Structure 1
Amino acid sequence: MCPGRRCWGLGSLLLLLLLLGQNLGFLLEIPQDAVTGTVGQSVLLPVSYRCNSTPCFPLSIRWIFGHTSQVIIACTVHNCSLDDGGAPKNCSTTCFPHPAHWGRVVLFPENASLLLRDLWLSDSGVYTVSLQHQRQSRNITLTVLEQPVPTDPTSKGRNLGFLLEIPQDAVTGTVGQSVLLPVSYRCNSTPCFPVAIQWLFSHPIERIIACTVQNCSLGDGGAPKNCSTNCYSYRTHWGRVELFPENASLLLRDLRLSDSGVYTVSFLQNQRQIRHITLTVLEQPVPTEPTREGTSQPAGRIATRIPCCILRGCYCFILLLLQLLFHLCWLRGSRGEACGCCWGEGSQRAGAARAGAQ
């Protein structure tokens, strides 16, 4: 007779394979686990995910603010296509931002990154991105700083009361993701609207987007808000760029390796100031898994050589076989017969039978 507790191992193994199969070929990463922003500006909380060998759509994505455990935005991503590396593209999505964040948050379904606009000091804290169906989550800490206090230029300066700054002069992105080139400007003592803002890519020199910002109101620190704008993006970047008139930051989507280079933001007309930001675009990271010898090899290599349908068929066949063995074992145990799954006990009985026969 095979006691149920001995055959329970097969059931546990089956459950373990089911749980492991849920995340087979799924990779979730964050390029930065700490991000800094400035009051009134925008910031991007960067995330990337890939599906290599199992279907993962529809996919439920939630961003949570850890200080209050408040759901900022919840999205369902579906109908994505995958490139050769498993990165989603051309996704459709349904999103529900929390009322406290209406108009301030944007989620990019192709990588799950979160854009947070019009930052407040109270936005500082830990943000958690959760992919519910895959049961994976990551944390990013955001620190929001006060607007820097401008120093008065000398009498030789032409831009009295106008301050243009870049929090970072070097930014890193990943192919297929989005990146924010951060800028901030303030008008303190002189009217500066309308203002013409232009972004250039200097490798080679080409115009990316040109905007005229007008009718802005100014906050206590001179930061523009509630602006109206008229923008024109050039053909090479149609659908891939967005300028935020309140701070002149540039959002660049669907990154390519050719996007690496120096970007220049230029304020024309009365201000005539420019700043430069260097963008480095990296390849999608290759997931690694340990081998028996303790080394590592690309986890996606098998998935790229063997069609996903074959892998899924083999996986289902193994699960069905284990389930069949488990049921046979359970039936024999309930009838009081020797259980085929208890190989050790069966071998002992067979040996005793042969000894008695001799």
Structure 2
Amino acid sequence: MTKNPVVISQITSNSSLPGSDVSLHVLFSGEETTVTWEVDGGALPARYQLSNGNRTLLIPSAQRGDDGRRFSVGVTNPVSEDSREYVLQLIGAELIVHQESINVTAGQSVLLATSYTITHPNSRWLTIEWTISSHSIVYHSSHKGFTNAQHFPTRSSEKTSISPIHQGRVEFYPENASLLLKNLQLNDSGTYVVTLQDNKYIIKKNISVWVHENTTSPGAELIVHQESINVTAGQSILLATSYTITHPNSHWLTIEWTISNRSIVYHSSHKGFTNAQHFPTRSSGKTSISSTHQGRVQFYPENASLLLTNFQLNDSGIYVVTLQDNKYIIKKNISVWVHENTTSPGT
């Protein structure tokens, strides 16, 4: 029986927006076929995923680096072969947040650093808004602008409105959408949302800001060595901290790690020793680990660090470490984001 030759009709795409999951699908006719993909003349990166008998190629969360890449698909069967190319062109905008979680001391200023690219014609631009708890801080509208070769804005014609309660306390930079917050107070803590919007899309990104009292003077200082951590499911991570204490070693403190107000580890010290720099060297104490974390955590009382093993997706969240004595309470946060392992088997 004669087999039908392979004929590729087209390659389709479900989206062209940066940040979206872009699926390329090859349509063809023919029997007993084998489908292979290449990008820019070479093998596919590990984060690209094939499915449906290799007919569909998924590009998760397409980024600016995927724009302009040349995809080629080849389809063969015992009697023929055919190939087709597709150049991915992302349109619209991409919004980048350069730090997802920030810890700052009351009275200080902090820059919520962002940047964005736009690829639609410069005669039609977008709006940018910063909010907290659904209350507007800054609203910016552009109606014409210019970009460089990498699609980053260089200048535009625009109007910026700042809410009355933030007048004199913020500075907005339309070229990159960053927001400077001045003289932060404890009640300024929260999730700040930046939104880019056009008639075709809405892009939102969050930055968590935690404002703490200045706690360096009384008796102890707590140091967090990394405020935001991204980890792949199945991995382990150390929430690295250290602390100093200057009060007499006959009266010590308690240390607790929590997530969503649920205790992970509680440690109480009743006697200890420090070196010349006031870092603890050893102590007598008791450590209690919650039943939900038994066998999954390791606590180090000399520096208050916490090792968590075999992370799962539902372990994402804000981990809070608290040092407490009868005179003071010091809290610091570490944001942990657990992602799926998107490496394809065998790659």
**Under TM normalisation by the shorter chain, which class is it?**
0.3 to 0.5
TM-score by length of 2: 0.36
Larger Rg: 1
Question: Which one has a larger percent strand, Structure 1 or Structure 2?
Answer: 2
TM-score by length of 1: 0.35
Question: Which one has a larger percent helix, Structure 1 or Structure 2?
Answer: 1
Which is bigger in relative contact order (C-alpha 8 A, separation at least 6)?
1
